[in-house]
Structure 1
């Protein structure tokens, strides 16, 4: 749970940073990619628990 919170925080920081520094280039595909990566990490974590 702690790890997930850390990843989520990092993700939020990254998204905020990108939006601030290059708003023209910022798009949903980046968010989708990040969410995909996060969910795969989450899956791996839950798999290792069982």
Structure 2
């Protein structure tokens, strides 16, 4: 983040992952940020690949 190199895709993926670690389910994360649970799962999977 400090270098300004983080794109929107990775920003969302990181945020989804942070919320998932806090709340524990894709459904809880999806409800909090108004995304489909499958989309949340996709973003978390992308974050884990990095």
TM-score if structure 2 supplies the norm length?
0.41
Larger Rg: 1
